[in-house]
Amino acid sequence: MFLNNFDLNLDFAKLGREFIYDPKSPIMFNSGLFIWLFVVFLFIYVALRRKDNVRLLFVICFSYYFYYKSSGIYFLLLALVTVIDFYTGYWMNKTTERAKRKSLVVLSLCINLGLLGYFKYTNFFGQIFCSLMGHNFSPFDIFLPVGISFFTFQSLSYTIDIYRKEIEPLNNILDYAFYVSFFPQLVAGPIVRARDFIPQIRKPVFVSQEMFGRAIFLIVGGLFKKAVISDYISINFVDRIFDNPLLYSGLENLMGVYGYAIQIYCDFSGYSDMAIGIALLLGFHFNINFNSPYKSASITEFWRRWHISLSTWLRDYLYISLGGNRKGKLRQYINLIITMFIGGLWHGASWNFIVWGTLHGVALAIHKAWLGITKQKKGGNKLHGWRRCIAIIITFHFVCFCWIFFRGNNFTTVLNLLTQIFTSFHGELLPQLFEGYWKVFALISLGFVMHFMPDRYENKLCNCVIQMPFFAKVIMVVLFIYVVIQMKGSDVQPFIYFQF
């Protein structure tokens, strides 16, 4: 009897630890704990669907717990940003003096970017300063809260839009807290604009059969892309290549680059699909965040298809603020480079990210110049047939070249990888490589096939899911989760964009 009670206490203790923040195991959409929590959450959410304030408060509490499970005590930062920007917008609307309005939006910018700068860039700029001064630098022990780049940018869009008089401020802090903390997109996007989301907050909860079916399709598809394709090729091939490129031939390094191209797409678009699908289950509509980016025939088109919520944010709040294309061609090119330079820095405190962003900025400027020279308006969008195919191949390989800087741990890794590709290729190893890594290459191929699949086939598949009976959808989800659990590794792999 004593032993049975002892074991029971141990089980309860272990269960209790699952609900406490663990820095080594942040909660994710593809974790078992989230799935069980979300099922319970969904039942309560449906029960509260006619009680707006209680429902909003419940979702806020769940979102804050979700963030606590991701970043611990730093959920207080989320609360701080929420309170400051809500009252900044409120006071901004109360005054008509341009100077006061400008000072308030500057205050919001300083606080949000200040928090972002402290947590992400203190050690980076400290190291640069000490290097210039000839001193050694000891990095500060600074924890990077998960998703801080996403919720600060999202909150900033609210205050900037109020300053520009594009939206009216909210009068209820409960609504604003709901907007900033809404858990599906809290830690890795997509970045949801206030003008798109706020009008949906107080609408009656309604999920049609079409919405429910599309949500299931997005969640299952996103989970497959992340937990099956991305995680498997990452653990079993890509990570090995980038950890030590010199151990592998140039052919293997090149395949590692191609593998990373589909890995990061499946990882990030998979998360976005799940976030959009989960929001849809709750009655909220998010804009698409990825639109088959490797189908792009130009770098400009690529950024209209890749991480759309970030690229449009940078365009609307940075590129246009710098002057956009209103101050001449040369200034437009400089603005593009500056925008992408900052976009690279947004991804992390590393020279690799800066080079990655700058390369894209220079490419965008060159493409804009080319469009001007050739008198084209839409670039690759006007290409058809074999010309478009060639343009897609060139754009894809430029993007892959830039991914080397994005994924490489440092410039030494980048240099070693490129050296192997150009000086030690060994194409004769291709049969052996396919034989040894056939599962990896099968999943890489499947990822590219899914990506390049015509939209009409994807829509037909989605419609098939929509037409399925309710219980058939539930059984499909349960069976799919079981299959994913059987296929994936022992550890749940974090999403790549959690670090940003």
The CA distance from 302 to 393, in Å, is 12
Q: How many CB atoms lie within 10 A of CB 4?
A: 8
Q: How many CB atoms lie within 10 A of CB 174?
A: 15
Residue from 371, 364, 354 nearest 333 by CA: 364
Distance of CA 128 to the CA centre of its chain: 28
Q: Are 148 and 78 in contact (CB under 8 A)?
A: no
All residues at 6 or more sequence positions from 362 whose CB lies less than 8 Å from its CB, including other chains? 337
Residue 325 three-state SS: coil
Question: Hey, what long-range contacts does 368-377 have (CB within 8 A, 24 or more apart)?
Answer: 368/300, 368/329, 368/332, 368/333, 368/336, 369/329, 369/333, 372/329
Distance of CA 218 to the CA centre of its chain: 15
Residue tagged active-site, from 135, 285, 347, 384: 347
**9-14-19 Cα angle (round to 5):** 125
Does residue 347 carry a catalytic annotation?
Answer: yes
List C-alpha distances in Å: 285 to 203, 205, 275, 276: 12, 12, 10, 7
Q: Which residues are catalytic?
A: 347
